[in-house]
Amino acid sequence: MLVKSQEDRPICKEDDISIVRSSVKRVVALLNFSLVNQTKIITAASELARNTLEHGKGGHALIQIIDDGTGRIGLRMIFEDTGPGIPDTDRALEDGFTTGNGMGLGLGGARRLMDEFQLESHAGSGTKVSITKWQERL
């Protein structure tokens, strides 16, 4: 996997969620994703940025344009925090499960919206979520 470019965005306050969303919006438009896929990607990024701030007590988002080596281009985003972690990741991915005031659709919803989803978390040591959407081949 070749990283063609990347941006690292801090997520420390509410305004940072909008900045991440705007950065992602700019990149997906440049990569010419379909409008439907742009909406999916921006929604997933927004959900995970909010989780990073609210549950992880802040962290950062790494936004990468990637190439799989065959010429296929994609967008990978890695959200990482050093917060309390997720004690039960399987349960956290279930629709309706929440530890806050939300609807419990963030992690599971982000997983459904993207092509690839990886979650690493342990109680007391933070969380890392990596999501990827590949550009459709014509």
What is the DSSP track for the chain?
-EEEEEEEEEE-SHHHHHHHHHHHHHHHHHTT--HHHHHHHHHHHHHHHHHHHHTTSSEEEEEEEEE-SSS-EEEEEEEEE-SS--S-HHHHTSTT--SSSS-S-HHHHHHHHSSEEEEEE-TTS-EEEEEEEEPPP-
Structural domain of 101: 2-134
**CATH number, residue 55:** 3.30.565.10
User: pLDDT at position 136, please?
Assistant: 79
Segment 13-31 shows an average pLDDT of 97
The residues, any chain, with a CB within 8 Å of residue 23's CB and separated by 6 or more, are: 7, 9, 63
Predicted local confidence at residue 91, as pLDDT: 81
pLDDT one-digit tens code per residue, 23-37 = 999 999 999 999 999
Question: pTM of the full predicted structure?
Answer: 0.91
Q: What is the pLDDT of residues 58-71, one digit of tens each?
A: 999 999 999 998 88
Give the pLDDT confidence of 82-132 residue by residue, as tens digits: 999 988 888 878 766 666 655 445 798 899 999 999 999 988 889 999 999
Q: Contact 34/136 with Cβ under 8 angstroms? A: yes
Residue 41 near residue 23, CB atoms below 8 Å: no
Q: How much is the pLDDT for 97?
A: 62
Note the pLDDT of residue 134: 97
What is the reported pLDDT for 103? 45
Q: What pLDDT sits at residue 104? A: 45
Tally of domains within the chain? 1
